[in-house]
Amino acid sequence: MTDQLEATLEMVAQGERIEGLAQEVAALKGALLVQQRPALDGVKGGAVDPARAAFVERYLRQGMEAGVELKSFSGASGAAGGYAVPREIDQLIGSTLKSISPIRSIANVVRTGTAGYRKLVSAGGIVSGWASETGARAETGTPTFNEIVPPSGELFANPAASQAMLDDAQFDVEGWLAGEIAREFAAAEGAAFVSGNGTNKPKGFLTYTTTNEADGVRAFGSLQYVASGAAGAFPASNPQDRLIDLIQSLRAPYRQGAAFVMNSATLAVIRKMKTSDGAFVWQPSMMAGQPATLLGYPVVEAEDMPDIAANSLSIAFGNFQAGYVIAERSDTNILRDPFSNKPFVHFYAVKRIGGGVANSEAIKLMKFAAS
């Protein structure tokens, strides 16, 4: 009986030792979980550090320095702690804005199914005649047609970015590149609409043949200019009269919807002009969304127009909806190409577009020359 009791007591003692050992192992596991590696920069969550919470609540928020160990720490120097300060990058990338020509907003824009766009323009119109009730009716003249073929070309861009940058950058690299391409295309096509030479690009209205001959006299496709009266400047007296001459050179049917086009430097000269009673010929807009007016017509600022100089064509006036046509095949197409030049990803963007003068009677120019 005594041996059996001693054996039972020994088994109970061993069980208590095993249970204590299991509790020690569980405590050790919990300590290891708490003392895990700190989370990397950018990883959210994690256990709350009591010491850090006390520092924030007592010192940073209430200014209580008791029990707080203070040391010199600066983010300006790497050795003094600057290496530990994370860098913050704004996710919105600022950029210098390019001057985008507004010719597209006032011209006639058409969508085409192919690159071979043609436009027919009739000249002369139908001739009519008068006759008595029983008088003979002779054959009248018929209009003649002229074919307009706006020169076109492909506008492209092919920037590249490394795959690592696309993966690790703190902002949307692909969206940023797409926006930059769109702005560059708008600036490039706007310049071509004004001064393009027509070789693999639109033909600008300033590159057409110019003459001082009136409508019905000059050759089809040439533009009429009105001289400013002085070489590289307006005349000293009554310079606004030359602007009136420019307006009246455009026939009345085209003056409905006409506008001035010039750059900001030329507009700065005109804004200083006054009538004999001291009123400015340029009037600012009184309503949001409405352009300023010059002698009753809106003014469109296009920085691709040349500055005032000898024999320069610095001011255009006309109905561009009737006078200039823009033919585009489709919207901008962007191809993401990660294969051609690994490890770089190319963003190949292309746009097929053409442009040219459709009606040479609808656009007039001012030439800064004596005659």
- Half-sphere exposure of residue 244, counting CA atoms within 13 Å on the CB side? 7
Cα angle 149, 155, 156 (rounded to 5 degrees) comes to 155
| Average pLDDT value for residue range 17-24 | 68
| β 119-123/223-227 pair status | unpaired
Domain edges within the chain: 103-125+141-367
Q: What is the mean pLDDT of residues 53-57?
A: 62
| DSSP symbol at 58 | I
Among 82-86, 162-166, 180-184, 295-299, the least confident range: 82-86
33 pLDDT more than 60: no
- Is the pLDDT confidence value at 9 over 60? no
- Of 3.30.465.10, 3.30.2400.10, 3.60.15.10, 3.40.50.2300, the CATH number of 103-125+141-367 is 3.30.2400.10
Phi, psi of 114 (to 5 degrees): -135, 175
Please indicate whether residue 9 or residue 181 has the higher confidence score (pLDDT).
181
